[in-house]
Structure 1
Amino acid sequence: MLVSPQPNVTRGVQVHGFHPSTATESEVSTILEHIYRDKIVLLKEQELDHDEFVALGALLGSPAVYYESMYHLPGHPKIFVSSNQPSGGSRIGVPKTGKFWHSDYQFMPDPFAITLIYPQILPERNRGTYFIDMGEAFQDLDPRIKDVVVLSNSWHSSRRYVKIRPSDVYRPLGEIVAEVEANTPPQMRPTVIEHPVTGEAVLYISEAFTYAIEDRDGDALPAELLTELFRTSGQLDSTFTHPSIFLQTYEPGDILLWDNRSLVHRALHTSSNEPVESHRITVHDGHPLNWVRHAGVDRGEAAVK
């Protein structure tokens, strides 16, 4: 197995000569180390079937079944499908997923640790995923804002971007919203988390899922503060030219792995009718986001409800 910096980019590493069926414990540990340290790992020259892809996820943690079954690959519920292609006369997965800044499962009690994307059908144009490093975003904040947000909590919900299911057609919108809130109730977490593996302070918010911010006594902070955090991190830049935004591209045979705790991402979708399909696996690694310790502040589990 050979690990080297990605060519022509300043972030992440690429890996040649890795296969989940022959990987040693040392190789898996090395992959995990680079995911946590470099945040982006691109596995090259991969030809995995569905079972092998799930096995790759299992080497890195515990693969999770996404809570909405319409995203599942038939026969392989741990594989999440984003596709605009029908299969066997019916739609598989959901088209144009992730067209917003987010961290996977940020709105659930136990967010994912690592995300794996395995493109199956790649468009010729507009190929890749945008990322923002939220550890760097925190470090780049004005010190006065840092002092406020490190002592705050934020609320997360799927309510803004949940996909309407085919079975929801003709249902009252209020009924659907109430069901969303019941299935995925809002979650409160520290606005700044300490990464449980690296210890890095991370600004744990996303434009898609974070909707409110409050101080440690539970009093609401101005909505303008949250907007400012989105703006300074680059999440409100519709041109994608903000210096914190970087585009990760991939080629056939690539599998992209990333640290879902410290990066937010947004899919780059083609504006044409080109066929596109990707498979995703998301895993837990046994390190829950239930505490923060930063700048002399230790709020412990009481900061998460």
Structure 2
Amino acid sequence: MSNATSLHSFAFQFSPKVGENVRVRNADALDNEFRYYSKLIEDLTVLLTKKEDREAVPPWVQKLSTAAYSVMYLRDKRNRYMLMLCLSLTIDSIEGPFIVSPPAGVLVDLLRLPPPIPVPADWELDTTWEEEIEQYRKLEKEQKEKGVDTKNKPRVQCPFHRKVCPRDAPTDRKIGVILDKQFRFLLYISRPYAALLFRSADKIRAAKWIQRLCLIDTESCAIAKGVRNDYTMVLVGYLTNRCLIGPFQEFPMEKLIPLPEIAKMYAKEGQPVTDPNHPRTAQFFQDMPTPAEGAFALIACTGDLYEPKYG
């Protein structure tokens, strides 16, 4: 469901039913709410991308600001229209009844308006995942035709099962569908951040990790999808900080190890990661961007409980 659809559904949810007596709220509260929406609309209108959208807002505000909608019974209806207009502006678009000029007569109840048509969001239409899988399969086919051994290379399959994942239970299949949608969204937002990395080596590693995570497709089991999404969420977090650390300091492994197990492996190294003498510390500082002025102040947080001694 797109943002526009969900926002309008939100506005409809708080609309009175047709023929229902509207509970009169405090007049001061309604007026304060109207002033708040008016100021918010004023600030959001100037940020609209399209000129025609910016020109469509003032007539509606003037319509809702007339004395006719200042009477007690219509104040609540007025504010609901203002709320819907605010929600529409937050997605940089004029939606719903605001795509046309306001009528000269009385505004219809919100529930009498035609329901919004669900429109897929941009991330739902993104085909990066399918393109990565298709490209890998094509490359694998070409290598087989040339006699290249692809036995030890990652496959487009579950990393926890050699051939085919066992059939998931109905509940797991439903979870798998949700995990696939989550991964598609995370994949969509990860690519712009990957392009903003400072070092070319980091960009290459990020691209390799994204390709590797894409190989766990919709036919994999829910366990594999969960591990894939864990890696992707952590990767997005590092990408937003413009720094790849942890398992992303290396190229992706053939078999993805669950992140809790990797954390245990790091813990067995004998030194906490926050130790200045830790072998990964130098690499951490090397990966940090150089500030134009001043310096970074870093604080090492540990899980050890500090118990002060008195006396």
Greater strand share, 1 or 2?
A: 1
Q: Which structure shows the bigger proportion of residues in helix conformation?
A: 2
User: What's the TM-score, normalizing by structure 1?
Assistant: 0.20
> TM-score, structure 2 length as denominator?
0.20
